Amino acid sequence: MPDEVRSTSDVEEEVAHRFPPGFVWGAATAAFQIEGSTTVDGRSDSIWDEFCRRPGAVKAGDTGDPATDHYRQYERDVALMAELGLGAYRFSIAWPRVRPDGGAVNQRGLDFYERLVDRLLENNIAPWATFYHWDLPQALEERGGWTNRDTAYRYADYVDAVLRRLGDRVPVYTTFNEPWCSAFLGYASGIHAPGRTEPRAAVAAVHHLLLAHGLGMAAVRELALKADAGVTLNLFPVAAADPDSPADREVARLVDGMQNRIFLDPVLCGQYPPDMVEHLAPYGLVELIKEGDLDLISAPLDLLGVNYYRGHLVAAGEPRTGPTDWIGVDNVDFLSSGMPLTDSGWEVQPPGLVDVLVRLHEEYPPVALHITENGAAYRDVIDADGTINDLDRIAFLDAHLRAAHTAIEHGVDLRGYFYWSLLDNFEWAEGYAKRFGIVHVDYTTQLRTPKRSARWYSKVIADNGLPRAAG
């Protein structure tokens, strides 16, 4: 039936699960993953540039240049966002462009972000800027990186420079994206930049990242009075494989503590979880905390970003040696729950999103929530006519958006959803091997092709809701 002659009841039948008025629909990216141009206009090396040079650190020896060439092709990308109907675009600002080597302000780097923000606003797309998505200037890492308390104050200087240029035009800032990854993947297991395997360094990084978050929030409050601000955390539901097993429950408690509560509790409650303070005492956590730190860290948020991909099903196993994300836990086994896998080998677990959101709603002080990342890598196939019918990604999106809607029905104050990612991109240690985008990128020609999932998501945005589930 043509759109112009459909009745209101027809439309209501098709859109059975509406989201609240004003719900924010967007997509997300990160600077190092898409910008390329890593030696252009005064940008200096980040820890990821250095990490990519290490043999074997990144799959196939890939690097962050040219990535998707967004630095030069941002206008085309904003036009794509407008075509898809995005209401908001979450991107990160590259510290090595704004204060190369952590030093003086580089106006040419800020010029790029000003052009990007202005183009977004011209297209009625709200810019959501993240100050830090893992790309610490390499020069600061050589002075200790996030193990050095001074790095938090250098971060505050960087944030100050951004706000003095963009503070009047960006409506939403997030201080950090997934500080868990920066601390534990970067300094404990070493599978991300800077590639260190030092448990005490990882614990120091946790506290200094949180301190920097607090300093960043203070800067936004001073220099961008009309902007909202918060932080984005990657959160996982953690379940014991055998709830009746004390050993399984114990490893679940520890994994949950180091994955979720070690960031949630200081930010939302003003204290580290007591059991984590005890657990991490041998690694120096208590000595890191100075007077006034937790007051800064727990400054009120306007929003909390939730990045959700999957959950953890854990059991107590045999002790092992070697680097691990789970400091002080050498006997945890991560088990399969039997759900389908993405191309990343991650289980597709939509109910876990409900669990995470409801837990935040029930166990923590009230705060507006946004899903700031949720997505899946799949092996896209380009058909003879050039189309990419990524039905598996559509199924993933549909299931997780239904989970988000269920959480809202449970009373969760969920106000937005950002798909990860707008574009296929450099996927950290996986290089270009994994494709998360709803827009396909040919890395040789830089041609962009919206996938079927992009069109599907565009309709969800236009309808502000989902159709009735089949069957």
**Catalytic positions:** 178, 373
Contact 367, 268 (CB under 8 A): yes
Contacts of 425 (CB under 8 A, 6+ apart): 29, 30, 33, 34, 67, 68, 432, 436, 437, 441
Q: What is the DSSP letter of 382?
A: B
Contact 229, 302 (CB under 8 A): yes
Residue type, 438: I
Of 386, 390, 466, 461, give the one whose Cα is nearest residue 27: 461
Of 8, 12, 94, give the one whose Cα is nearest residue 46: 94
CA distance 259 to 257: 6
Residue 388's Cβ-count burial label (10 Å; 0-12, 13-18, 19+) is buried
Task: Using alpha carbons, list the distances in angstroms from residue 182 to 153, 232, 341, 399.
Answer: 17, 12, 25, 29
Contact 129, 166 (CB under 8 A): yes
CA distance 363 to 406: 18
Contacts of 2 (CB under 8 A, 6+ apart): none
Contact 425, 436 (CB under 8 A): yes
CA distance 391 to 343: 14
CA distance 332 to 277: 20
DSSP 321-347: -S--SSTT---EEEE--S--B-TTS-B
Number of C-beta neighbours around residue 469 at 10 A: 10
The SS3 assignment for 352 reads helix
Residue type, 80: L
Number of C-beta neighbours around residue 439 at 10 A: 23
Q: What is the DSSP letter of 388?
A: B
- For the record, the structure tokens of 217 come out as 């929030």
- For the record, the structure tokens of 169 come out as 């035009």
CA distance 257 to 236: 11
